[in-house]
């Protein structure tokens, strides 16, 4: 909060069928600590009928107090860490950007052998960075160790970042006005999504359709071989060979399991089944129902209800009088901008250096120097000097 009273806005954002933001809950607390997160998560669990043994997935930036709160309340939940924030710490520690490629390849690898191969490359490149990365359990940040129950292979927590960016103009308001600002934004967002929904056609959402079409194009380069049962051996370029089990709807590349959308190996197997005159059906039926257009419409069937003006609000009968928290006025001008991280500060400095060097080069090209140019004297009309340094006598 950026207003006269201190506080923090906690939020929980889900993923909709189009891989967009789906805000679930928000609250204003005094500070960001374990007790505040536990209270927030308990309220969230009551609203969504979640229990301590429920199997669902969190992804966070490892905020203060959030890790112990999740471990205490939901021990069976899968907790992913945003790899962008892990890389920020990694870049500050090792001061170079060469580790980004290794780290991203480790995080995006979908199988354990592929993950271990990239980790070996990182160990050969820098043993210290390899040992530092080993301290973070891979089931928190590597796709190869994710379970498939989330039907999503997201590695970044950008959904919460997008939601927080929309609340910047409301954080400097009083608490009630701030909550009203967020509620009105959610009403507007539901209307915007409904306008897109009304224009969509087909069985899948736009994101699901785009991913499926991309996999279908890649599947044309693969050849599937049937084993006589429910399994297929699929081989493609660059020694890419995998096994697809059509009965379990799984591929050992694990992309079908992680995303819920048939991978290129699975689509190649379906093409082989169709060539053998087997009943395949529509391709979209092999996509998980979370990417169906009907599921997306059902998600946004819940609306944010409008309320009456503040003058018509009923007075509370609660005998307890709520007083605002103590206000300590800070020295200087109030800060309303978002606090940038150390990595962002480094990137800003690099951009400034590049902009300054480019402007200097542009100035040098626009204003040409007189060096190596032939000068003609206005007195003696000789070349090589000017009138001020002319040594010829007057009249000669």
- Please determine, for residue 370, whether its predicted confidence score (pLDDT) is greater than 80: no
Chosen domain end from 198, 225, 245: 198
Report yes or no on 169 lying in a domain: yes
- Looking at residues 307-319, what average pLDDT do you find? 89
Same domain, 15 and 142: yes
- Please determine, for residue 364, whether its predicted confidence score (pLDDT) is greater than 70: no
61 CA to centre of own chain: 11
Please enumerate in sequence order all residues whose Cβ is within 8 A of that of 305, keeping only pairs 6 or more positions apart, or say none: none
Residue 396 pLDDT grade (very low, low, confident, very high; cuts 50, 70, 90): very low
Name the region of 328 (left: φ>0; alpha: ψ -120 to 50; beta: rest): beta
Asked if 78 and 150 count as a contact pair (C-beta separation under 8 A), the reply is: yes
Q: Poorest-confidence range of 44-48, 118-122, 301-305, 349-353?
A: 349-353
Q: Which pLDDT belongs to residue 330? A: 72
Same domain, 66 and 156: yes
Asked if 342 and 352 count as a contact pair (C-beta separation under 8 A), the reply is: no
Same domain, 94 and 234: no
Asked if 27 and 43 count as a contact pair (C-beta separation under 8 A), the reply is: yes
pLDDT digit string, tens, across residues 269-284: 999 999 999 999 999 9
Q: Which pLDDT belongs to residue 207? A: 95
Same domain, 179 and 281: no
Same domain, 168 and 229: no
Same domain, 237 and 166: no
367/363 Cα distance (integer angstroms): 6
CA separation, residue 134 to residues 122, 289, 335, 386 (Å): 11, 36, 38, 72
Residue 125 pLDDT grade (very low, low, confident, very high; cuts 50, 70, 90): very high
Q: Which pLDDT belongs to residue 380? A: 87
| Backbone φ and ψ of 47, nearest 5° | -70, -35
- 355 is written with which tokens? 């902009």
Closest CA to 259 of 204, 203, 197, 193: 204
Tell me how many domains the chain contains: 2
Report yes or no on 151 lying in a domain: yes
Q: Poorest-confidence range of 71-75, 133-137, 353-357?
A: 353-357
Same domain, 257 and 183: no
- Looking at residues 319-334, what average pLDDT do you find? 77
pTM > 0.85: yes or no: no
CA separation, residue 320 to residues 316, 317, 323 (Å): 10, 9, 9
Residue 358 pLDDT grade (very low, low, confident, very high; cuts 50, 70, 90): confident
Report yes or no on 377 lying in a domain: no
Domain with 276 in it: 206-296
Asked if 153 and 165 count as a contact pair (C-beta separation under 8 A), the reply is: no
Same domain, 26 and 154: yes
**Between 358 and 62, the higher pLDDT residue:** 62
Same domain, 229 and 292: yes
Asked if 171 and 163 count as a contact pair (C-beta separation under 8 A), the reply is: no
Same domain, 146 and 67: yes
Report yes or no on 211 lying in a domain: yes
Mean confidence (pLDDT) of the chain: 89
Same domain, 132 and 242: no
Same domain, 63 and 174: yes
């Amino acid at each position: 909060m950026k207003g006269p009273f201190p506080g923090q806005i906690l939020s929980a954002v889900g993923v909709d069928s189009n891989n967009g933001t789906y805000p679930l809950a928000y609250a204003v607390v005094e500070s960001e600590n374990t007790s505040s997160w536990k209270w927030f998560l308990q309220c969230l669990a009551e609203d969504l009928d979640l229990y301590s043994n429920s199997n669902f997935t969190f992804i966070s930036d490892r905020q203060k107090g959030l890790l112990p709160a999740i471990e205490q309340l939901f021990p069976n939940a899968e907790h992913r860490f945003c790899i962008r924030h892990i890389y920020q710490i990694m870049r500050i520690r090792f001061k170079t950007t060469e580790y980004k490629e290794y780290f991203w390849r480790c995080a995006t690898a979908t199988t354990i052998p592929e993950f271990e191969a990239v980790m070996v490359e990182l160990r050969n490149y820098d043993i210290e960075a390899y040992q530092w990365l080993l301290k973070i359990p891979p089931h928190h940040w590597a796709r190869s160790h994710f379970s498939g129950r989330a039907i999503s292979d997201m590695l970044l927590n950008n959904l919460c970042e997008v939601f927080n960016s929309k609340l910047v103009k409301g954080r400097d308001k009083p608490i009630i006005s701030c909550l009203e600002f967020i509620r009105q934004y959610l009403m507007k967002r539901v209307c915007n999504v409904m306008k897109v929904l009304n224009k969509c056609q087909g069985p899948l959402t736009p994101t699901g359709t785009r991913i499926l079409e991309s996999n279908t194009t890649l599947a044309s380069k693969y050849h599937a071989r049937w084993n006589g049962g429910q399994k297929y051996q699929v081989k493609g370029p660059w020694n890419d060979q995998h096994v697809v089990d059509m009965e379990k709807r799984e591929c050992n590349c694990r992309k079908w399991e992680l995303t819920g959308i048939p991978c290129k190996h699975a689509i190649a197997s379906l093409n082989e089944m169709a060539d053998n005159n087997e009943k395949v059906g529509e391709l979209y039926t092999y996509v998980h129902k979370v990417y169906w257009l009907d599921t997306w419409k059902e998600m946004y069937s819940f609306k944010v209800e409008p309320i009456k003006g503040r003058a018509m609000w009923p007075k509370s009968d609660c005998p307890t009088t709520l007083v605002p928290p103590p206000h300590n006025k800070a020295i200087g001008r109030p800060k309303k901008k978002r606090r940038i991280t150390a990595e962002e500060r480094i990137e800003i400095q690099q951009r400034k250096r590049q902009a300054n060097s480019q402007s200097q080069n542009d100035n040098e090209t626009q204003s040409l120097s007189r060096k190596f140019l032939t000068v003609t004297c206005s007195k003696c009309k000789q070349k090589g000097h000017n009138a001020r340094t002319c040594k010829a006598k007057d009249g000669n």
